[in-house]
Amino acid sequence: YQVIYWILDPVSMEFDKYATVPVIYGNTINPVPPKYTVPEGYTLSAAYTDISFKTPLEKDATMPANEVNLYFKLTAEKYDVP
């Protein structure tokens, strides 16, 4: 089975397929995109199991007997300028 990591581009507002990782049934799902470098000035959200970002991936979730799509969004950091 596979976990597919999708990241919402903050400019185009479209999902980019970042990685596809094979995971053995019953193993723990990595909640972070592998080897992903967050662009400077942004933060990466937690993993969600739906494109509307309403259902977070459960802590210590294990691989079911089907493909899993995980969704992330980048949010621009806010700075206070005195």
How many whole angstroms separate alpha carbon 59 and alpha carbon 15? Answer: 23
Closest residue by Cα to residue 64 from 32, 36, 24, 35: 24
pLDDT of amino acid 80:
76
Place of tokens 């979730």: 61
Burial of 71 (0-12, 13-18, 19+ CB in 10 A): buried
Where the chain has pLDDT below 50, the residues are none
Beta strands of the chain (E only): which ranges?
Answer: 2-8, 15-22, 42-44, 68-76
How many whole angstroms separate alpha carbon 15 and alpha carbon 18? Answer: 9
**pTM of the complete model:** 0.91
pLDDT of amino acid 55:
98
